[in-house]
Structure 1
Amino acid sequence: MSLQKPLRALAALAALSLLSGCSWVVMSPSGDVAIQQRDLILYSTYLMLIVIVPVIILTLLFAWRYRANSARAQKEYAPDWDHSTLLELVIWAIPLLIIIALGALTWTSTHLLDPYRPLDRIDAQRPVQEGTEPLVVEVVALDWKWLFLYPEQGIAVVNEMAAPVDRPIQFKITSSSVMNSFFIPALAGQIYAMAGMQTTLHGVINRPGEYVGFSGNYSGAGFSDMRFKFLGLAEADFDKWVAENRQSENTLDRAAYLQLEQPSEREPVRRYGTVAPDLYHAILNRCVEPNRMCMDEMMAIDARGGLGITGTYAITSLDDATRQALGLTRRPARSYVAAICTTDDPSFVVPEAQASL
């Protein structure tokens, strides 16, 4: 018995130590979109508590009032009671009103907080001024790191990004391989990153600071360390951050990207002062490697009726020298569409064996 109290105290301290690692950022965000999402959680909770709190109180009250040794309960005993209009009205009307309120709240918030919808306000007091252009950030989820491309500024950074305070941000998000989830809790909700597809997220940061971003979707061995820094900066500080990145001598062209794309864990921040202008388009359309047709070109061909017999002769793969130069010798060989010609081209002759088909 003498050891029970110390053990209980130690257990309580252990529980408190675990809770000390919890972050309250979701309920105390610094971006207007995240604040609206936080408010949606709170409003929904308050509406549900309208039912939950009275039910808990009445449960305890009824248990006490109608206990076995209660004299009052014995006096009020009514075995033939079967209906109360007032009670039926309360039981059905209050939940119905709550459901209507939750439905209206869900419908409006679904449209107002659509991640693809451009922002119309900086915060609750300030609308977005007409003609304001958002900061465009192209995001690529890699194994297991994040690549941020700034097309307007011509720079790229691994595992760090920055944005000016009170300026709308438009994220264009894709993945190099498996599906991930892009999430900066202080800024806005999470949205998936998928290979060959682009998702969009709009947000704004209202307070300067250093925030944490990460992947919210398990994607393999290095998932736990797939985190990055998000910097909310004043306009002058953001310009300085861009200038510092431009001073980097690293160039992110297609060959450098193919090296960066290789799986790695706990990558440090890496900066690129120069970026190939069409790199994000190539990543999105799965055509970074040489002699590979882009997905949007394939879809355009399919929209015109497809490749047919002619296209079967345009299939190729990277030669051994190219694979070795790109560091792809350990990766499985892939086949690509290298070129397209039409049957109207007089220089193209279908072999007799194929023509018989």
Structure 2
Amino acid sequence: MVLLSGCDKSQFIVLDPKGPVAQQQLELIIISAVLCAIIILPVIGIFIYITVRYRDKPDNKAPYQPEWDDSRLLEVVWWGIPIIIVAVLGFFTAKTTLALTKPPVKDVKPIVVQVTSMDWKWMFTYPDKKIATVNYAEIPAGVPVQFILTSDAPMNSFWIPQLGGQEYTMPGMSMGLWLQADKTGNYFGSGANFTGKGFAHMQFKVKAVTQADFDKWADQVKKNSPALTTAGYKDLSKPGLSKELSFSSYPSGLFETIVNKNGGKYYDHMNHMGDSMNMSGMNMSGMNMSGMDMSGMDMKSQNK
């Protein structure tokens, strides 16, 4: 650890956050390391003391107590301290987790990027811009990004270490993940779940730019790139590697179709846009009910 302390931390991208989500998660890692050290360091010290103090040697004066079998004080110590540490760690973990289900900042309008993992490539669709990319994404710096994730292949894990922790992509499901880049720059992204022979090449680049440059890039893609057709997507989704690609348009409802065809039922999750459900009043105003299957619900009990 002493030798590693002299290394440039930028080489360890998990410990080099570039956004508010990654910063909160780094603080949680530090808290976890400190709490673990509270246990590990005393245990190592006691281990060294016991091995020296009670080792078998001629001049050892340690008392011999063959009938000793219980100590209330020691039991309180070795059960009480771990319970306290787990409680403290659980508190900070729950607090951070709940905070990360909402946009990192509230005063900036977020954007939505839909992410589909395939064998062995990543596709990004932009519902607001009606454009798509493969194996790279461009986002505006300082703007919360709601990544909505699914898979059109085996389950994978979407990960941009400098912006935040990983989130699974699963067939038939649409998962939400809030991330944000504080500064412009290029960030490494990768699939973090083993999915076969092309797994090592399942990487992508995330480029954070100014809002003006983001709008300019989207316009250029719209003007200069080919359209992604249904047949084109069918070919793209076949197992195989791919270079970076851009598309000026894609079939309407493509992401929703991918979710639905894999056994799921796509709908606009509230938490995708940071809204909260009022469970006491069941405020349903933010939900798109057209996409939900209500056939299996007993509505009679709701009216009693």
TM-score, scaled relative to structure 2: 0.76
Residue 253 and residue 244 in structure 1: after superposition, are their counterparts in 2 closer, same or farther (change >3 A)? same
Structure 2 match to 1:45 = 33
Structure 2 match to 1:210 = 186
Structure 2 match to 1:341 = none
Q: Give how far 1:250 is off.
A: 0.2
Distance 1:65 1:250 in 2: 76
Say which SS state the counterpart of residue 137 (structure 2) adopts.
strand
Conservation of the 8 A alpha-carbon contact between 1:181 and 1:190? yes
Conservation of the 8 A alpha-carbon contact between 1:184 and 1:190? yes
Conservation of the 8 A alpha-carbon contact between 2:173 and 2:265? no
Q: Give how far 1:107 is off.
A: 2.9
Letter of the 2:102 counterpart: P
Structure 1 match to 2:52 = 64
Aligned counterpart for 1:233 among listed residues 191, 209, 212: 209
Letter of the 1:77 counterpart: P
Structure 1 match to 2:18 = 30
Gaps of 5+ in 2: 267-289, 298-304
**Is the aligned partner of 1:276 residue 2:266?**
no
Letter of the 1:25 counterpart: I
**Is the aligned partner of 1:135 residue 2:111?**
yes
Structure 1 match to 2:77 = 90
Q: Deviations over 1:16-53 (max 9, x none)?
A: 9xx99x95111222122122122212211211211110
RMSD: 3.3
Q: Give how far 1:234 is off.
A: 2.1
Say which SS state the counterpart of residue 207 (structure 1) adopts.
coil
Distance 1:169 1:80 in 2: 65
Aligned counterpart for 1:249 among listed residues 225, 230, 233: 225
Letter of the 1:178 counterpart: P
Aligned counterpart for 2:261 among listed residues 283, 286, 303: 286
Distance 1:254 1:138 in 2: 17
Conservation of the 8 A alpha-carbon contact between 1:193 and 1:199? yes
Conservation of the 8 A alpha-carbon contact between 1:180 and 1:192? yes
Distance 2:111 2:199 in 1: 28
Structure 1 match to 2:156 = 180
Aligned counterpart for 1:108 among listed residues 95, 101, 107: 95
**Is the aligned partner of 1:195 residue 2:171?**
yes
**Is the aligned partner of 1:118 residue 2:102?**
yes
Paired-residue identity, %: 35
Pairs within 5 Å for 1:290-301: 300=293
Distance 1:216 1:151 in 2: 25
Letter of the 1:108 counterpart: K
Report how many residues are paired.
Answer: 268
Max Rg structure: 1
Conservation of the 8 A alpha-carbon contact between 1:148 and 1:161? yes
Letter of the 1:228 counterpart: F
Aligned counterpart for 2:65 among listed residues 71, 79, 93: 79
Structure 1 match to 2:124 = 148
Residue 232 and residue 70 in structure 1: after superposition, are their counterparts in 2 closer, same or farther (change >3 A)? farther
Q: Give how far 1:151 is off.
A: 1.2
Q: Deviations over 1:142-193 (max 9, x none)?
A: 2211111111112111111011111100011112232221111111221121
Letter of the 1:139 counterpart: V
TM-score, scaled relative to structure 1: 0.66
